[in-house]
Amino acid sequence: MKVVRRLFIMIFCLSVAATGAVLWGKQGLQAIANWLSYESACAGEPQLAALLMGGINSRPKAASSWLRRHPDTRLVVARPRDEELQQLGILPNEGLLTRTLLASYGIDSNRVTVLPEPQVANTFEEVQRLVAYTKAQNPTPTQLFLLTSWSHSRRAAWTAEHVADETGIKICTVPLTQGEDSPIGWWQTDRGTLDVFTEYVKSLRYGFKYALR
């Protein structure tokens, strides 16, 4: 199965990268992060893109730069599950907050669709909602551009391709970078170190959890 095969490929690549880190120092360390940052090539101007939730301090700003380069692209975001501050009414839902942040970076709110309930709890549920929305917008959709943090991009691509496998939708993954949120020299910052190791652990978990779906 595709997910199982990718899981073994990931373990192999991580083993090779870890060996490289020992043998070749910085180049080996850089290879560990470079593997996580995944961009799929797609032809044509994007009509619809989805920004995955999480990374609220960096993803919306990085996405705004990409959206300015593609002024005709519409954006859709899901509603993540509310945390305590949202439940208390102190903060808005992250999906709504994302649209507000994008507006502050110069993106017209009319270009941004926040999906209604139900809320989503993880990347798998989020991608399911986004693919279903894409299909509903166009019975014969061709592409969905997926915007997310560079460290999250390969797992997001795997998940989306798994969900969209029989829909005819091609997933076009766009890894976002913003300031220090970059694969370059990731081991020099606490955030980069946490992001890289967390993503490898999550990728393993996703591989085992969703391989049989």
First to last CA, the chain: 10
Q: Which residues of the chain register pLDDT less than 70?
A: 1-25, 139, 141, 209-213
Tell me the residue range of the domain where 80 lies.
Answer: 2-181+189-210
Predicted local distance difference test score (pLDDT) of residue 162 = 87
Q: What is the CATH number of the domain that holds 26?
A: 3.40.50.620
Helix count (H) and strand count (E) of the chain?
8, 5
Instruction: Considering only the C-alpha atoms of the chain, give the largest distance between any 2 of them, rounded to a whole number of Å.
Output: 52
Residue 49 CA to residue 72 CA, distance in Å, equals: 11
Number of compact structural domains in the chain = 1
